Amino acid sequence: MTLKVDRDKATGVAVVTLDREHRHNAVDLATAAELGEAWRELRFAEDVRAVVLTGAGTAAFCTGIDRGVEVPQPASPYSADDPLIAIGPKSCDLWKPVIAAVNGMACGGAFYLLGESEFLIASETATFFDPHTTYGMVSAYEAVHMAQRMPFGEAARMSLMGTAERLSAHRAYEIGLVSELAGPDGLLPAALRAAQTLAGFPTEAVQGTVRALWSAKQAALHQALAQAPALIALGNLPPQQQAELFTNRRTAPPPRLR
């Protein structure tokens, strides 16, 4: 198993943990399947009224799709097989509130998860970046999700700058991507406090508010995501060239504070 789901019936909170610390909690095909199954199962769990999503360890929340995963693609330029497209809670029709506790690096495909969480609480050591352009790949789904959560200029800068810079937790807090900062040891307790508060309210009112909030942006989100497969097909380098760029990657820059 690459995912842990711990339920606390006393508080009504479930903690979903990406459990691949040795791979910086990158998502392989098994993890993608387990995430979808977990969200669908939590839909029917009457004892769960709020969820905290995090990653094992302190180095990374999630670093997107595992580079070792091979995903065969259809020959047609009009379709693309994306194993991450249904790893988020909203994609699996879960409307219980999900709080992301970001502990370390969050990049690339991690934005599928962050984009479908209600709000983010981050460790002061967390960083955010999108490596796609550096490796000859179009940031489509990821950029769309972040453009929904950040000022456009900040989302554009992160999506375009690739691995050349990382957004610090403090800068992410300043621009509203993150709603609360905590010390590394205080991250999970902070997320649990918020989740327990939500779980203590009447669940119909909470879930109705979640749906109302998402209705404000879903039309635009769906229209934007519909363009993603074609943009990826047009703009991505062949996999071999992507792999060569990844092999020659540079040392990570210090986080951008301002």
Residue 62's domain is classified under what CATH number? 3.90.226.10
Q: Measure the CA–CA gap between 203 and 207, rounded to whole angstroms.
A: 6
pLDDT score at 223: 83
| 191 domain residue, yes or no | no
pLDDT score at 76: 76
| 75 domain residue, yes or no | no
Sheet with 3-8: strands ordered across: 3-8, 13-18, 50-55, 98-102, 119-123, 180-182
Asked if the model's pLDDT at residue 123 lies above 80, the reply is: yes
pLDDT band per the 50, 70, 90 thresholds, residue 68:
confident
| 257 domain residue, yes or no | no
Q: Which two tokens mark 153?
A: 């200029």
pLDDT score at 254: 80
Name the E strands within 57-211.
Answer: 60-62, 98-102, 105-107, 119-123, 127-129, 166-168, 180-182
Question: For residue 176, what are the domain limits?
Answer: 3-69+81-185+202-206+218-250
| 63 domain residue, yes or no | yes
| 239 domain residue, yes or no | yes
| 194 domain residue, yes or no | no
Can you give the pTM of this predicted structure? 0.89
Give the count of domains, the chain.
1
